[in-house]
Amino acid sequence: MERKLFTALQGDQAEKLNDALSRQGFRRSQNVLYRPSCADCQACYSARIRVADFEPSRSQWRVIRRNAVLRRRATSPWATEEQFALFRRYLDGRHAEGGMADMDIFEFAAMIEETPVRSRLIEYHAPDADLRAVCLTDLLDDGLSMVYSFFDPTRPKDSLGTYVILDHVQIARELGLPYVYLGYWVPGSEKMGYKARFGALEVYKRGQWQPLGDPSTYSAETHPLSVDPIAEQVARIHLPDARGTK
């Protein structure tokens, strides 16, 4: 069972609400902000990189050098057939059994284009113009939030997923932003474990951001996730009929 606290993201205050609740562990999906709020476990931790303190590891430097030929291009959040073709290859290669496996081009376009906040699509092209990776990114007042990324699954040696994160750290540095928000890290999850390999990582735990520390110490934690009173109050104000989903 999974329970989520969520609120609608709309109106003139959408960007301020996105900024405020992202700092409290929430994530955006189209025009909704949500955060896991399960009664019996705390398996999901919102994670972010402290840009000023981040230094790539040796293996991450190799990833940067390996992908130095790629060219970054920031565009408005507008879906294209080329992006969708890459998205389908990514799902078929990496998440064939996942909840998004049956998404069609219209659902893909909605995921990309339905945003009430400042969002960009960051594309990464090879010298021959081949599209290698894409990330839907929100611009927050204190950082970049990587909403969803996908890449060419036929090039595993390029570590494109890692490269996109490393490049977002660089973008944040260029913009003078202190954080890169990565979404949720789940201890013990093979698909989520890569996030713990980034230095200067913080997780939102018991109502505050804390350094990750030793990832192995998190695997046994099953205590309830406490919902911040402020976050819960904001959610109720902006969505009077807010309900948890199971």
Average pLDDT, the chain: 87
Q: Is the pLDDT of residue 18 over 90?
A: yes
Q: What sign does the dihedral 85-88-90-92 (CA atoms) show?
A: negative
Which single residue is written with the structure tokens 């928000």? Answer: 181
> Read out DSSP for 151-218?
E-TT-GGG-HHHHHHHHHHHHHHHHT--EEEEEEE-TT-TTTGGGGGSSSEEEEETTEEEE---GGGG
**Domains, the chain:** 47-220 (3.40.630.30)
State pLDDT tens for residues 50-106: 999 999 999 999 999 999 999 999 999 999 999 999 999 999 887 666 667 788 999
Q: Is the pLDDT of residue 220 over 60?
A: no
Q: Would you give the DSSP letter of residue 245?
A: B
Task: Note the residue count of the chain.
Answer: 246
pLDDT band for position 188 (cuts 50, 70, 90) = confident
| Residue-level pLDDT at 233 | 47
State pLDDT tens for residues 96-149: 666 677 889 999 999 999 999 999 999 999 999 999 999 999 999 999 999 999
Query: What is the share, in percent, of the chain residues with pLDDT greater than 70?
Result: 86
Chain-centroid distance of CA 21 in Å reads: 14
